[in-house]
Chain A
Amino acid sequence: MKADETLDCFGLLCPMPIVKTAEKIKAMRVGQVLEVDATDVGIKSDMPAWCKATGQEYLGIEEKAAEYKVYVKKVRQ
């Protein structure tokens, strides 16, 4: 999947990937896609939950050898 911005959260544990995602998304424009690279397995359920809470669009996850690429589209301010 193609993303406009990438956020490196390798090695970070909960809640940091979510806190950093929220901060990053704030600085992006509506319509842009963010790729979050993480190793904390919690991201698999935390990112959809975060998207549900904030109204952003969860596009999906790519999983490879305990590394996760999660895609979020900013759909609202």
Chain B
Amino acid sequence: MEKFNIVVFSGDMDKVLAAFILATTAASMNMEVNMFFTFWGLNVLRKKKFTSGKNILQKLMNWLNKSGASRLPLSKFNMLGAGPAMMKIMMKQAKVPSIEEFLQLAKGLGIKMVACTTTFSFMGFTEKDFIDGLDSFAGAATFLQLVREGKISYFI
């Protein structure tokens, strides 16, 4: 089966939406899809929590760096959350699935979700900070091997 791989580095709602659109389409085109979430992208897979982390810096950063697929900022016109709120309404009006809905759709299509272990560690996350159904935790070599075997690989 042809492989489609995508690194989700960004935690911006608009960019993550683009990643999910491509990933779900690739899965619908009979491709094996791997989504590798790293850095801010991990926020998509984090549970909605006040904060997490093991020390004060991590706790402060993870409070600022809001968790949860429903709380992603926009890469433009974020305006302290007013932008994403408007965008969510516009998406709903146009029947475009939300990021949470895309996440469920992606799981249903058998898309593999991989979380980056490096970000995981230096941000002080634990497995309990993440939603259920994550396929694995892995590093760059795992992704690069998928890229070597893959037909298409993207980074967003």
Q: Give the interface of A toward B (CB within 8 A).
A: 11-16, 18-19, 21-23, 50, 53-54
Contacts and interface: CB of A to CB of B under 8 A. Distances in A.
Interface string B73-99: 000000000000000000000111100
Interface in B14-56: 21, 24-25, 27-31
B30 A54 contact: yes
Contact of B25 (A13, A15, A23): A15
Nearest to B23: A15
* Consensus secondary structure, chain A interface: helix
A23 to B, nearest CB: 8
B96 A13 contact: yes
Interface string B54-81: 0000000000000000000000000000
A50 B28 contact: yes
Interface of B: 21, 24-25, 27-31, 94-97, 105, 109
B21 to A, nearest CB: 5
Contacts of B96: 13, 16
A2 B94 CA distance: 30
B24 A19 contact: yes
| From B25, B27, B95, residue with most partner A Cβ within 10 Å | B25
B29 A16 contact: no
A16 B30 contact: no
Contacts of B27: 19, 22
Contacts of B95: 11-13, 16
B94 A53 contact: no
Given A11-B95, A13-B96, A16-B95, A53 B30 contact: yes
B97 A22 contact: no
Contact of A14 (B21, B29, B31): B21
Contacts of B25: 14-15, 18-19
| From A15, A23, A54, residue with most partner B Cβ within 10 Å | A15
Given A12-B95, A13-B94, A13-B95, A19 B105 contact: yes
Contacts of A14: 21, 25
